[in-house]
Structure 1
C-alpha cells in the first residue's frame, strides 16, 4: 500500500511538472486521510515529497492545506470546549494553529532544514500544537525497533527529501519485515483499563458512586490494578477521598484520573487508591493539558503544564502515563525512548471531542508509539456515544 502511494505521488508530480493544482490535491488527500479513522498517520511522511518540490510560498500554502485538513476536527472539539456560542473562536484556534505549523516550511530547502522543522514542531514551544507530525508514522513503519526505529525514520526522511526511491524501497522492505515478525507486547495479567460514559460536570459524589458500582463487578486477585479515565473525579479533596475510602469494598489498587485544585491553579492528574487508602498526592500529571481551554499561560488560575512525563514504579513495574491531549503530540512520547517504561497508561476524557476525528487520531498515535517502543498500552477512555 505504501509503495502504491509512492508511485501515485511520484507519477502525479512528474506528469504535472510539479503544477500547483496536483500538489494541492495530494496535500488535501494526505490531510484527509487523518479524518478516516486516523489512518493518515501511516502516510504522513509523504507530505515531505510534496513540499520539497515547491516554491517557498507554495510550501507554506501546501503545508497549511495539510494541517488544516487533517486537524479539521478541532473546530467541533474546541466549539464544545468553549460552548456552542463560541464557534468563531473555535475556527480561529483551528486556523491559527494550522498557520503556525505551516510557516516553518517556508524555509524548507534541504535535508538539514527538514530535520530542524520536524524537531521544531515536535518540541515546545511549537510542539505544544505539534499534531499530525510525520514522526508519528514510525511506529507503523518500524514496529518494535525503539531508538533503532527512530534512526530508520531519519534515514527514511532523508530518502524522501532526496527523492531516492531505491533507498526508500529498502526502508519499506525492512518495515514490512518488522511488521510481519514483531510480536505485540503483552500487559500485566491483572491490570485493566475501564472505559466509562460519564457526562461532564458530574459531581464528585455521583462519579464516586459510579466508580464504586463499576468496581462491585470486579473480583480483585493478586496485583490487581484498575485504571479509570482522565478527570473522572473533578474534585480530589479530603471529603471525596474520605467518601471513597469508606465506601469502597475493593482490595486492589485503583488509578483515577482527577482534577486537583490548589491555590495556584489546577492539575490534570492520576492518583492512586492503594488497598482502600486514597492518596492525596498524584502519581502522574498531564504534560500539557489542552492549550487555551485548560492550560492558559495568560490566566492566573489555569491547569499547570509539567513538560516531562513522570516515571513511577507500580507493583514492581516501571510505568509512564500519557494523558489525553498529550497523546496527539510527539515530545511526550519521545521522552519514553529515554525513560524506558515497561507499561504505558493512556487515559482520556473525550466528552469534548466526541463526533470529531480527534479520538481516532489519538488511538492511532497510541498504537503507533506502543508499536515503536514495543511496550503495552493500557487505556481508559470516557466517551459520550449518544451526545
Structure 2
C-alpha cells in the first residue's frame, strides 16, 4: 500500500500537468492531454487510477469554481462543490475500468472513452482526449477519429511508449503546417464585450445598438451575421418586429442567441432573422448542467431551468447551407459535435456567452475545441462570443 501511494504522487502530478497544459486554451497544445491515458495505464491500483483521473480532470476544468461563483454572484464554495461533483463521473468510470491485466487495458480504456463521450456520463465528459484528433489528423474526418481512438488504445497497451512517439510525430507535422479553419466569405461572427448585461438588459436601446452593429457588417457586404448566445435576451414578437424593421430591405440574415420562456422553463435557442421575419433555428441539446439544466425541478413538480433537447436538430438549414450549431457548453463535450457531423453540415457555427468566465481559460478552451473539431472534419467555422 505504501509503495502504491509513493508511486501515485508523481503519476497524479503528471496528470495535473497534462490537464492544465492540454486544456489551456491553445489548440496546438491539446495533444498534451494524450498523456492522461498513458499515465492511467501505469496505475498499479484503482486508488491510484482515481488520483490520476481526478488530477487530470480537476486541472482541465479549473476555471469552473471561479466561473460558478461569478455566475451566481456567490462566494467560492458553491463553485468548488460543483467542480468536485462534476469530476465524479469521470473519476468513477476510469477507476472502475482500471485493470492490472495489461491485455485488457486497451478494451477497458475504449469502454471508458465511449462512456465519457455519450450520455449519461458524457453529460460531464469535458476534457476528452479524443478532441485532439483535430490537431493530430486535420482533414481526416471519421478516419482521423478512428486513428485517434486506435492511438488512445495503443497508449494504454504494452506498446504505449512507441505509440506516443508516433503520435508525437503526427503532432509535430500538423503543428508545422497548421492553418486556422476557413471562414466562409459570406459569413461573419461578431464578438461582443458587453459582460453580464448581454441578454439581461431588456431595453430597446440595447437591441438598437446590436442592430447598428449588424448594420456595419451588412454595409461591408456580409449577408450572414452571427451574434453570441443570449444576444437578444427573451425572444418575443416585439423583439422580432424590432429586428425585422431594423434590417429594412437588406438581404441580410442574422443568427443570434436568445431564450424562449414558457410556464415550464425555457429553451436556449438560436434564431434566424431576415426582412421577412424570424424563426427558431436551433434548440440547445445540452445546456450547462446545474447552472442551466436542472431536471430535478420537474421531478419535484416544479418548473424552471433550461430544457435539454439531447439528440434533436443536430444540423439545421439556413438558406442553402446546412450548419452544425454548437452553443457554449456543447463545445466542451463530444457527442453533440459527432452527432452534428453525422448530418454532413457545410459550416460549424459555435457561439457562447462567457462573461462569467472572466479571468479563466474557459472561453479559450471552447474556441480551441471548436477549432479542433472543425479542422478534423475540414469544415468552415464561424465563432461568436460575448465576454
TM above 0.5: yes
1:360 to 355, 358, 364: 364
Q: Does 1:194 align with 2:190?
A: yes
CA deviation after TM superposition for structure 1 residue 321, in Å:
0.5
Q: 2:52 aligns to what?
A: 62
1:99 to 88, 93, 99: 88
1:88 to 77, 93, 102: 77
Question: CA contact under 8 A between 2:180 and 2:371: conserved in structure 1?
Answer: no
Q: 1:7 aligns to what?
A: none
| Separation (CA, whole Å) in 1 of partners of 2:239 and 2:114 | 42
Change (3 A) 1:310 1:46: same
Structure 2: segments with no counterpart, 5+ residues: 100-104, 298-302
Q: 2:348 aligns to what?
A: 344
Change (3 A) 1:221 1:25: closer
| Separation (CA, whole Å) in 2 of partners of 1:166 and 1:311 | 39
CA deviation after TM superposition for structure 1 residue 182, in Å:
7.5
| Separation (CA, whole Å) in 2 of partners of 1:196 and 1:262 | 28
Aligned length: 365
Q: 2:139 aligns to what?
A: 144
Change (3 A) 1:92 1:174: closer
Question: CA contact under 8 A between 1:204 and 1:233: conserved in structure 2?
Answer: no
RMSD of aligned alpha carbons: 2.3
Q: Does 1:119 align with 2:114?
A: yes
Q: Does 1:269 align with 2:269?
A: yes
SS in 1 for 2:33: helix
Q: Does 1:229 align with 2:224?
A: no
Structure 1: segments with no counterpart, 5+ residues: 1-15
1:213-224 residue pairs with structure 2 within 5 A?
213-220=212-219, 224=223
Question: CA contact under 8 A between 2:107 and 2:153: conserved in structure 1?
Answer: no
CA deviation after TM superposition for structure 1 residue 168, in Å:
4.2
Question: CA contact under 8 A between 2:110 and 2:153: conserved in structure 1?
Answer: no
Change (3 A) 1:361 1:104: same
1:75 to 65, 76, 82: 65
Moved over 6 A (4+): none
CA deviation after TM superposition for structure 1 residue 294, in Å:
0.9
Q: 2:308 aligns to what?
A: 305
| Separation (CA, whole Å) in 1 of partners of 2:49 and 2:318 | 47
Listed one character per residue, the Cα deviations across residues 239-275 of structure 1 (whole Å, up to 9, x for unaligned) are 111222233344311111111112332111111112x
